Amino acid sequence: MPVLALSALGIVFGDIGTSPLYTFKTILGTAASPSDPATVLGALSLVVWTLVIITTIKYVSFAMRVDNDGEGGILALMALLGVKKQQRPTIVAVGLFGAALIYGDGAITPAISVLSALEGLNMATPALQPYVVPAAVAILLALFAIQSQGTAAIGRFFGPIMLLWFLVIAVMGIAGIVQHPGVFAALNPLYGLHYLFSHGATGFLVLGAVFLCVTGAEALYADMGHFGSGPIKMAWFGIVFPSLILNYAGQAALVLEGAPTDGNIFFRLCPPMLLIPLIVLATIATIIASQSIITGAFSMTRQAIQLGWLPRLQIKQTSSDGYGQIYVGVVNWLLMIVTVGLTIAFGKSDNLAAAYGIAVSLTMLMTSALLFIAMREIWNWSLLAAGSVAVCFLVVDSAFFLANLTKVAEGGYVPLVLAICVYGVMWIWHRGAVATSMRMHEELIPVPEFMAGLVANNVPRVPGTAVFLTRTAQDTPPVMIWHVRHNRALHEHVFVLRVEILPVPWVSSRNRIALTEVAPNFWRAEARFGFMERPHIPALLLNSKSLGCTVDVGDVTYYVGHETVVSREDGLGLPGWQERFFAVMERNAVHVSDFFSLPNDQVVEIGRQVAI
């Protein structure tokens, strides 16, 4: 577990671990009297208790206990609440939009993190200021370029560096605290509450800046499947949480001792002779910070694909040590384009801070709502117990969300627009997939009727085994009907296979396949996979022999249908723009034979038009 905890430092905690670079300076920049002791202690108290309530209590102590067979994140939580077994459109909408919001804010995380580190150069050598943005762009391009190497290799490299980072910021914090030990008075939550309620609108607006200290908490939950909850909790309580508290306290102590609040307070904790090495370490740490959100985006993408909310994308397994260690090229490059664009457009971390946080605060609000349902339905808590805990979380999350709403005009619209686009893609794909499935079910023929037709029409049976992949749970698969209609022959052995993706990450081998012989030498099977698994049909066929199936797996031809989506002429289908958008996604999705790991030289594709 200690080794996994070290790797988790490099993958999971980069975002929240580098928040001291910009959080405290942004808070004091928002406050009316940044040097006033009441402001400084109030701000520190709000930061400390935000870390305690949101990260330690809500996510580490509560959310990570509501895992879906080890997988975390808002999509896994949505699936755990049985949205496939029941019609729960509200829960689906909350879960999907929450996931889309993480994509939106995730594009900002690498930009603000790297910029905030490189801006330390302004304090060391102001002449280097024109090179900050070009250097940030170059670093971000390199970061996205290495993602295909996988989180296992990256984690082994990044973990020790992040351990060094947390030790350094802890020591820096202690050096600041020594100058003004009275800063620990801020551990009393009354300091934060007094500041919040005694400064009117300004006190409320400060919450939007305070929230920056926990923007990595949702990604922490989403990345849980990569390492498990145990190593993440060990790293949080043993290293990350105490280091963050010490550093924030050190920054506050420095201001209380009279340090100026302009510029970056974090770098003022460092002795001048060590400033350049610290900037280098901070830059590397912020590169690692970007890793957590990228890794979380990969995990959520596969979950969305397996649950039927995104088209099939090429997913690369980057390690044999853990199935959660993957690379999704399309997501990686799209995130890169948006992140680099934001870096160039906003130019400074202060400008990006205005756009940062609104999406994650809304995601956290949605997660709290789903946690309430989980407490009631999964833990079987009483309404009073679940409601009491959920109300506490919802009040805190709502306060941060409302405070962040003030940022919309200053740039907060960016992650919201990105999230709406992602949500729209998910919604249109699902609508199109459902419409296609319904049209396919309209022309089904019962198996006895189909088999009788073979005899009546003297359709010859040729040697070998045909495996027909289908979406239908019963009757004759459309692809099989098309095959007989066009080729006027059918194999001697027939194996009809329907693959179902369940709303759980993993399915045990004993529950993998259900097999029935519906007619002589005519087998129907239903295979079940979890949303974090990649279906492998040839291996499944080998396992079917142990269940009594007599098909010859050494002489198999796989038949898959390829539907070309067109508009319905009766005007009852999807709106034209949705049909066209779905058709584009369908054409560019990963081929079904690749998705099911079928051997290319044994696949026959049969096409037809489907009007939706």
pLDDT tens across 335-348, in order?
999 999 999 988 88
Residues 560 and 590: beta-carbon distance below 8 Å: no
- Residue 110 vs residue 220, higher pLDDT: 110
Could you read off the pLDDT of 464-477 as tens digits, one per residue? Answer: 889 998 887 778 88
The CA distance from 359 to 341, in Å, is: 18
Range of 10-19, 28-37, 281-290, 397-406 with top mean pLDDT? 397-406
The CA distance from 243 to 172, in Å, is: 10
pLDDT computed for residue 157 by the predictor: 75
Could you read off the pLDDT of 544-578 as tens digits, one per residue? Answer: 776 677 777 678 889 888 777 777 777 677 888 88
The CA distance from 369 to 373, in Å, is: 7
- Residue 17 vs residue 532, higher pLDDT: 17
User: Phi and psi at residue 451, in whole multiples of 5°?
Assistant: -65, -35
Domain residue ranges in the chain: 2-408, 438-611
The CA distance from 267 to 259, in Å, is: 12
The CA distance from 47 to 490, in Å, is: 69
3-state helix, strand, coil in the chain (%, to 5): 65, 10, 20
Residue at 576: amino acid letter:
G
pLDDT computed for residue 53 by the predictor: 94
The CA distance from 40 to 255, in Å, is: 7
Could you read off the pLDDT of 424-453 as tens digits, one per residue? Answer: 999 999 888 888 877 776 667 888 888 888
Bridge-based pairing state of the strands 315-317 and 326-328: antiparallel
68 pLDDT band (50/70/90 cuts)?
A: confident
Token digits of residue 103: 């994509």
pLDDT computed for residue 485 by the predictor: 84
pLDDT computed for residue 191 by the predictor: 92
Q: Kindly state the helix (H) or strand (E) to which residue 570 belongs, with its residue range.
A: none
In terms of Cβ atoms closer than 10 Å to its own Cβ (0-12, 13-18, 19+), residue 536 is middle
User: Phi and psi at residue 549, in whole multiples of 5°?
Assistant: -75, 135
Sheet holding 556-566, edge to edge: 513-519, 522-530, 490-502, 461-470, 556-566, 603-611
pTM, two decimal places:
0.76
Query: Length of the chain, please?
Result: 612
151 pLDDT band (50/70/90 cuts)?
A: low
DSSP letters for 170-208: HHHHHHHHHH-GGGGGGGSHHHHHHHHHHSHHHHHHHHH
Its sign, for the CA torsion 55, 56, 58, 64, is: positive
Beta bridge partners of 499: 527
351 pLDDT band (50/70/90 cuts)?
A: confident
The CA distance from 515 to 548, in Å, is: 9
Q: What is the mean pLDDT of residues 113-135?
A: 80
Could you read off the pLDDT of 42-62 as tens digits, one per residue? Answer: 999 999 999 999 999 999 988
Question: 33 pLDDT exceeds 90?
Answer: no
The CA distance from 286 to 19, in Å, is: 9
273-282, 352-361, 410-419, 468-477: which has the minimum mean pLDDT? Answer: 352-361
Tokens 């900037």, residue?
279
The CA distance from 44 to 22, in Å, is: 14
Its sign, for the CA torsion 588, 590, 592, 594, is: positive
Q: What is the mean pLDDT of the chain?
A: 84
Judged by DSSP in three states, 567 sits in coil
87 pLDDT band (50/70/90 cuts)?
A: low
Tokens 């699936």, residue?
79
Question: 132 pLDDT exceeds 90?
Answer: no
Residue 251: which of 351, 183, 204 has the closest Cα? Answer: 183
Bridge-based pairing state of the strands 315-317 and 513-519: unpaired
Beta bridge partners of 466: 494, 557
Question: 321 pLDDT exceeds 70?
Answer: no
Burial letters 390-426, b for 16+ CB under 10 A, else e: beebbebbebbbebbebbeeebbebbbebbeebbebb
pLDDT computed for residue 152 by the predictor: 61
Could you read off the pLDDT of 581-610 as tens digits, one per residue? Answer: 888 888 888 778 888 888 888 888 887 777
Could you read off the pLDDT of 253-291 as tens digits, one per residue? Answer: 999 988 887 778 888 898 888 888 998 898 888 888 777
Its sign, for the CA torsion 256, 261, 264, 267, is: negative
Residue 21: which of 274, 289, 258 has the closest Cα? Answer: 289
The CA distance from 83 to 336, in Å, is: 32
Judged by DSSP in three states, 51 sits in helix
Q: What is the mean pLDDT of residues 353-364?
A: 80
Three-state secondary structure readout of 278-300: HHHHHHHHHHHHHHHHHHHHHHH
Could you read off the pLDDT of 154-175 as tens digits, one per residue? Answer: 666 778 899 999 999 999 999 9
320 pLDDT band (50/70/90 cuts)?
A: low
Residue at 563: amino acid letter:
E
Residue % of the chain over a pLDDT of 70:
94
Domain 2-408 part of CATH 2.40.110.10: no
The CA distance from 440 to 477, in Å, is: 9
Return the beta strands (E) in 418-541 as ranges.
Answer: 461-470, 490-502, 513-519, 522-530
CA geometry: angle at 312 spanning 309 and 316, to 5°? Answer: 120
Bridge-based pairing state of the strands 556-566 and 603-611: parallel
